[in-house]
């Protein structure tokens, strides 16, 4: 009986079991799995100049969310005397989105897509925002996201006045 060969086979089998079980053990302790809720404030991003958002993890790699932001809208009107009247006001933007996390537990790259709509003047404007970013999430505590959106590739059409890539920075709290 070759004891050295038996020991090597046993050692390889043990390493295989530990190696295949370790991703499941580590994902069970992942911040997205344990702390499923996130409340965040995003500067710029899909909610205009700033927004408040909430998202919930449905699966270790998938979350959905909603939020509200604000933009200033300028309206122009022509009076009977042909005088141009300008009014500027803050209008709310509402949005729904989904994130798909590609890898990682604490530092995770992700893909995102969602829709933002602005209702005003008896019409509804809707824009689709695909994007990608990276998220740093801790256990019960701060979360930081940097996201790059592509508003000009919207299937609805080009969003006037926006650059080709629009970025957002979110600071939140997960629980």
Q: What is the number of residues in the chain?
A: 175
Q: 47 is written with which tokens?
A: 């909610």
* pTM: predicted TM-score of the whole model, two decimal places: 0.70
Give the chain's mean pLDDT: 77
48 close to 93: Cβ distance less than 8 angstroms? yes
Task: Give the span between the Cα atoms of 30 and 137, in whole angstroms.
Answer: 9
pLDDT band at 99 (very low <50, low <70, confident <90, very high): very high
Q: What's the average model confidence in pLDDT over 24-28?
A: 48
Q: What percent of the chain has pLDDT over 70?
A: 62
**94: CATH:** 2.40.160.20
Q: What is the mean pLDDT of residues 107-121?
A: 84
- pLDDT at 49 > cutoff 60: yes
Angstrom distance (rounded) from CA 67 to CA 80: 40
Q: What is the mean pLDDT of residues 74-103?
A: 71
Print the domain residue range for 107.
Answer: 3-174
Bridge partners (DSSP) of residue 48 are: 70
CA angle, 114 then 41 then 171, to 5°? 105
- CB-based burial of residue 52 (10 Å sphere; 0-12 exposed, 13-18 middle, 19+ buried)? middle
Number of domains within the chain: 1
């Amino acid at each position: 009986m070759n004891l050295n060969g038996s020991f090597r086979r046993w050692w390889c089998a043990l390493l295989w079991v530990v190696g295949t079980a370790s991703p499941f053990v580590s994902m069970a302790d992942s911040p997205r799995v344990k702390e499923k809720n996130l409340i965040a404030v995003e500067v710029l991003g899909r909610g205009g100049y700033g927004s408040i958002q909430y998202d919930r993890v449905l699966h270790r790699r998938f979350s959905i969310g909603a939020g509200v932001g604000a933009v200033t809208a300028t309206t122009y009107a022509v009076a009977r005397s042909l005088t141009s009247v300008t009014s500027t006001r803050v209008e709310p933007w509402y949005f729904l989105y989904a994130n798909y996390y590609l890898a990682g537990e604490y530092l995770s790259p992700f893909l995102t897509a969602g829709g933002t709509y602005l209702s005003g003047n008896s019409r509804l404007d809707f824009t689709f925002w695909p994007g990608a970013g990276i998220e740093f999430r801790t256990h019960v505590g701060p979360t930081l996201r940097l996201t790059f959106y592509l508003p000009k590739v919207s299937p609805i059409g080009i969003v006037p006045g926006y650059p080709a890539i629009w970025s957002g920075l979110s600071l939140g709290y997960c629980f």
